[in-house]
């Protein structure tokens, strides 16, 4: 299977390597300072199972210190840490450049190259965290260094914030910061973090560059039983029942996204379906033509995970409840998981606060749009709504802080091809260009225009 997968990846790489506009062969990417920095960071194992976030935080702190930027390391548990570094500006309310230190766990046997080797096979770098999200962290760090080295006074403070445990619910990271330092968070002006989407057919043919302004709210329904069988039956029932195709709605965030996003679809039928979403959700046959991720834009969902042994004995089933903005759990849960399904079972509900989305009228969103227009004037850009994944933006927004998911990297669809979450990789031409894009974005937001 691994051999077949490798051949598939090699085949998918061919259009990238054959494009006349690709000049990566002429560049010694491994020698570039930003690539070396990313490589060194990826080589630090910061996974939950075998890694050490403190080592990752100290690596970042050392690079900041070398540039004359002091930082504060906050150890929040064994091998867990948060890191803060502030550049003071005229307006003390900081722009927060947020990233998470931790990465997903790995099974080295599933990888073509050791997951923490940061192996380079130009134009690719392979390694856990190279995409999620150490590449963004390096771009943010270098933007901080650029501001410091410019010697120019800042119109606004900038806070570099690297946090713990995002891959495990952020309890020791952003959620802890909101709980332990609420006065600091209330002073945040806005946050830039992960979550944006880039769709490109080729490096000279960008389909859509989206900045995340909203996402679903995820509620954990944890169902427990002494025996495994009733939980297996519950999971099977939920999977067989499937998702509703009639209880649909268009929330304002999705409607705003579709105004730009619909016209960028390659398929004419898909463009038509999304350009008149009201008609689409009234027609079950039409709605079924949408890809599953787009169907998720219009409905609440219950997603069961695998049944597992519970700590202390017995069994447990995690069901993720995906709620659209504005949906109330007490109204939607009985529709998604009716009471009769839970009869005789015990369960707990972990419900995070409801959150609003972030405005496209905010200066941060406008600066993202302006920066992309300068670097990629032909690209279609717009807001984006995350249907299936969650980022720390949801926690910042719960505290009333505007938060935006932005990726500065022009990457192909094959750049992030993964096999069972293994063989995470990143295209170095996109990374190097993206570092410059991020630098220019941060300059636009916090430096006064000359003259």
Do residues 371 and 151 make contact, with C-beta atoms less than 8 angstroms apart? no
Residue 24 is predicted with a pLDDT of 63
Q: What is the secondary structure of 230-299 as a DSSP string?
A: HHHHHHHHHHHH---SSS----HHHHHHHHHHGGG-SSHHHHHHHHSHHHHHH-HHHHTTS-HHHHGGGS
Do residues 101 and 56 make contact, with C-beta atoms less than 8 angstroms apart? yes
Structure tokens belonging to residue 217: 């709210």
Residue among 440, 412, 439, 417 at smallest CA distance from 428: 412
Burial of 353 (C-beta count, 10 Å sphere; 0-12/13-18/19+): exposed
Domain ranges of the chain: 2-195+391-446, 217-350
Residue 424 CA to its chain's centroid (Å): 14
Mean pLDDT per block of 10 residues along the chain (451 residues) reads: 40 44 74 98 96 98 98 97 98 98 94 95 93 96 98 97 95 96 97 94 88 95 97 96 91 96 95 97 96 95 96 96 94 95 95 88 98 96 93 95 97 56 88 97 87 44
Residue 204 is predicted with a pLDDT of 82
Q: Which residues contact 97 (CB under 8 A, 6 or more apart)?
A: 140, 143, 144, 158, 159, 160, 161, 192, 442
Domain 2-195+391-446 identical in fold to domain 217-350: no
In this structure, what DSSP letter does residue 342 have?
A: G
The Cα 272–Cα 265 span in angstroms is 9
Residue 113 is predicted with a pLDDT of 93
Which CATH fold topology does 217-350 show?
Alpha-Beta Plaits (3.30.70)
Q: What is the secondary structure of 78-103 as a DSSP string?
A: TTEEEEEEEE--SEEEEEEEEEE--B
2-195+391-446 is classed CATH 3.40.50.300: no
Residue 449 is predicted with a pLDDT of 66
The Cα 133–Cα 194 span in angstroms is 7
Structure tokens belonging to residue 234: 């519950």
Q: For the stretch 282-301, what's the b/e string if a residue is b when 16 or more beta carbons lie within 10 angstroms of its beta carbon?
A: eeeeebeebeeebbbbbbbb
The reported pTM is: 0.91
- Asked if residue 123 has a cis previous peptide bond (ω within 30° of 0), the answer is yes
């Amino acid at each position: 299977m691994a051999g077949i997968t490798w051949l598939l990846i090699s085949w998918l790489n061919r259009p990238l390597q054959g494009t006349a506009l690709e000049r990566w062969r002429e560049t010694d990417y491994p020698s570039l300072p930003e690539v070396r920095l990313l490589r060194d960071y990826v080589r630090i194992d910061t996974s939950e199972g075998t890694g050490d976030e403190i080592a990752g935080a100290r690596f970042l702190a050392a690079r900041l210190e070398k540039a004359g930027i002091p930082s504060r390391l906050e150890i929040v548990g064994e091998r867990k840490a948060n890191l803060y570094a502030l550049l003071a500006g005229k307006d003390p309310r900081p722009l927060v450049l947020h990233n998470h230190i931790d990465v997903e766990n790995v099974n080295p046997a599933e990888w073509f190259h050791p997951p923490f080797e940061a192996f380079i096979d130009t134009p690719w770098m392979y390694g856990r965290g190279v995409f999620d999200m150490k590449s963004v962290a390096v771009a943010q760090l270098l933007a901080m260094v650029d501001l410091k080295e410019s010697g120019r006074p800042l119109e606004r403070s900038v806070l570099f914030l690297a946090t713990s445990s995002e891959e495990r619910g952020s309890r020791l990271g952003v959620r802890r910061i909101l709980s332990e330092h609420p006065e600091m968070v209330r002073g945040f002006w806005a946050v830039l973090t992960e979550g944006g989407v880039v769709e490109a057919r080729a490096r000279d043919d960008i389909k859509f560059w989206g900045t995340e302004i909203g996402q679903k709210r995820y509620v954990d329904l944890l169902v427990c039983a002494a025996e495994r069988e009733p939980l297996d039956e519950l999971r099977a029932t939920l999977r067989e029942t499937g998702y509703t195709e009639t209880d649909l709605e268009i929330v304002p965030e999705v409607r705003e996204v579709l105004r730009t996003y619909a016209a960028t679809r390659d398929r004419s039928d898909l463009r038509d379906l999304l350009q008149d979403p009201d008609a689409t959700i009234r027609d079950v046959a039409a709605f079924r033509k949408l890809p599953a991720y787009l169907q998720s834009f219009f409905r609440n969902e219950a997603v069961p995970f695998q049944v597992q042994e519970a700590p202390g004995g017995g069994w447990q089933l995690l069901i993720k409840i995906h709620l659209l903005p504005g949906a109330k759990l007490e109204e939607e849960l009985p529709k998604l998981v009716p009471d009769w399904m839970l009869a005789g079972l015990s369960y707990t509900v972990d419900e995070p606060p409801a959150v609003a989305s972030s405005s496209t009228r905010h200066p941060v969103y406008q600066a993202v749009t302006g920066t992309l227009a300068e670097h990629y004037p032909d690209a279609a850009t717009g807001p984006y709504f995350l249907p299936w994944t969650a980022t720390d933006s949801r926690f910042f927004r719960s505290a009333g802080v505007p938060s935006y998911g932005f990726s500065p990297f022009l990457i192909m669809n094959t750049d992030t091809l993964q096999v069972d979450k293994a063989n995470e990789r990143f295209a170095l031409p996109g990374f190097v260009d993206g570092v410059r894009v991020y630098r220019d974005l941060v300059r636009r937001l916090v430096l006064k225009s000359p003259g």
